Amino acid sequence: MNKKKYYKKIFNYFKAEKKLIIVYFILSFVLVAFNTLTPVLSAKNLTAITNTNLDDMFKYALLILIVSFGNYIVSFFNNLCGMKIHDNVELKIKTEVSKEIFDLEIKNFDTEGTGFFINRIEREPGALSGVFTRVRYSLTGLLTSIGVFIYVFWTSPFFGIFFLLVSLLLFFLSVRRTKYWEKERKTMNEFNEKYSSNFSELIRGIKDIKVLNLKNILIKKTTKEQKEIINYTFDSRKNDEKFYILDNAIRYLIDFALIILGIILIKNNYLTGANFLVIFMYQHRAIYLIDEISDIYRNIKDFNISLERLYEIIDGSKYPKEKFGNKNIPNFNGSIEFRNTKFGYDNNEVLKGINFKINKNETIGIVGKSGVGKTTIFNLINKLYSVSDGEIFLDGIDINELDENTIRSNISTITQNPYIFNMSIKDNLKLVNPRLKDKEMVEKCRLCLLDEYVNNLDKKYDTLVGENGVILSGGLKQRLAIARALVKNSKIILLDEATSSLDNETQDYIHNSIKKIRNDYTILIIAHRLSTVIDCDKILVIDDGKVVGFDSHENLIKNNNIYKKLYQKELS
């Protein structure tokens, strides 16, 4: 990871908040001044009390009151300012990371699971900008401590040296603690990611979990995972506790040593009782000097961990990004060619050298046994995955040379289980074509027998469909997805078992609708029922990762044994 580059990036996010940061620092300095003034005024007040100087007692008490009020007011605005900077930066980082997550190759989601990425985007931008909040607290604390330290040195150099030595001791302890903590944080992150990934899978599969009666088994499994996390957290807390006890023990010893030193100094007239009392009262602030430095050190480590975890996603080194070329085809025709194309998801080769050419405006059926690689062909045309060998050409240009927009705007895919957004029917359609006119929307919905259904709803096209179109039946979801593909107006339409949830009558109706538009689009149909593809211009027969036939139904039935068997199986 090129850390410098990313530090610069983060720095630029903060730079955009320049004005707020300037106000923040001005307020911080005022706060530091107030904080440093307090022990000085306390010392004066104590001297006045010791000398029973009533006028001075009143004067310093009033000043302490004013400084304390001032402190609270400035503190309030200082915190508001800090929070605003934090929120603005977090939003910017989140926006960038979300964008980058969309650019990741699909195979990252296959292997890591969606929960993994949700976890990173949920936690790390906040953690990153949160470091600013914590460092800003430490910084004000640090400056205050420096002020107090200077006061102590000025009042008694002996105590100054004493605090310096003590602080160094505490610092070394804190460095050791940070080392442990860093290791723990990394392990905890791994645990959390695994847990989120598994849990998000459970939530997505909630319906199946219920009907398969897996609730108890899976609760047991998640409890076991939780227990693992809790055990680890317990161990790390135990570690923390040990450091805490050691730290406290040292602090009690410091208190004791401080009093002894005080006795010696007062006895030898190096220090007055009042000054000693003030030093004793504010000793923690002086010792905090190193605490604050340790906190800053720890926060920088924390910052680096979050930065690394985010930039693993952003820079594409660990999780590969989609790569596109820069060629744009303004008038896309819609021809597709596979040339000796090979592809496997893992080491398992699915497509073993596929060759075929589909001309513009042809309608092609794709058949073959289940798991033979039909959907994989669609995945490759959409460039959701990249070929391992060979080539794919769209309009005669290598798919790797085309830009993202040319590929994604000219192809529409309708799957067996399409994703419908949680918005109204109209908005689902407008999402893919913001300039869609109501007239065209209704026209396209009529072609897929959707308009009639929508008109029977209370709010018609403005009806909300719920998460993933939950209020729609499987068949209606498919009809809406087909309508969405039609309004998108892409030259290539890929139908992957797109009508499988529909009854035979609706299926036939939609296939007839497709027939009406087939002369204007290149259409590829993967169909469970062969009868729905027999009138395609050609049918591509896939078997064992190869093309074993590519011809019209009539010719295939005469000459192709594999196709003949598939067809006869359907008739029987």
User: Footprint of ligand ADP on this chain (CB under 6 A)?
Assistant: 110, 345, 350, 368, 370-376
> Shortest Cβ distance from residue 372 to ligand ADP (Å)?
4
Give CA–CA dist 426/235, Å, rounded: 54
* Closer residue to ligand ADP (CB): 191 or 345: 345
Residue 497 near residue 473 (C-beta atoms within 8 A)? no
Residue 454 near residue 425 (C-beta atoms within 8 A)? yes
> Shortest Cβ distance from residue 497 to ligand ADP (Å)?
8
* Closer residue to ligand ADP (CB): 112 or 182: 112
Q: Which amino acid is at 256?
A: F
SS (H, E, C) 75-124: HHHHHHHHHHHHHHHHHHHHHHHHHHHHCECHHHHHHHCHHHHHHHHHHH
Q: How many helices (H) and strands (E) does the chain have?
A: 19, 10
* Closer residue to ligand ADP (CB): 272 or 417: 417
> Shortest Cβ distance from residue 356 to ligand ADP (Å)?
15
* Closer residue to ligand ADP (CB): 195 or 345: 345
> Shortest Cβ distance from residue 110 to ligand ADP (Å)?
4
> Shortest Cβ distance from residue 530 to ligand ADP (Å)?
14
H-assigned helices in 395-549: 404-410, 425-432, 438-447, 451-455, 474-488, 504-517
Q: Is 230 left (phi over 0), alpha (psi -120 to 50) or beta?
A: alpha
> Shortest Cβ distance from residue 414 to ligand ADP (Å)?
14
Integer CA distances (angstroms), 214 to 157, 198, 201, 211, in order? 71, 14, 13, 8
* Closer residue to ligand ADP (CB): 445 or 523: 523
DSSP conformation class of 436 = -
> Shortest Cβ distance from residue 518 to ligand ADP (Å)?
22
> Shortest Cβ distance from residue 373 to ligand ADP (Å)?
4
* Closer residue to ligand ADP (CB): 39 or 368: 368
* Closer residue to ligand ADP (CB): 90 or 496: 496
Q: If you search the block for the tokens 């139908």, which residue do you land on?
A: 495
- Nearest partner of 543 among 572, 570, 571, 564, judged by Cα: 564
* Closer residue to ligand ADP (CB): 417 or 513: 417
> Shortest Cβ distance from residue 211 to ligand ADP (Å)?
23
Residue 16 near residue 92 (C-beta atoms within 8 A)? yes
Q: Note the residue count of the chain.
A: 572
* Closer residue to ligand ADP (CB): 294 or 376: 376
- Nearest partner of 127 among 186, 176, 196, judged by Cα: 186
Residue 454 near residue 445 (C-beta atoms within 8 A)? yes
> Shortest Cβ distance from residue 352 to ligand ADP (Å)?
12
- Pairing of β 363-367 and β 538-543: parallel
* Closer residue to ligand ADP (CB): 49 or 384: 384
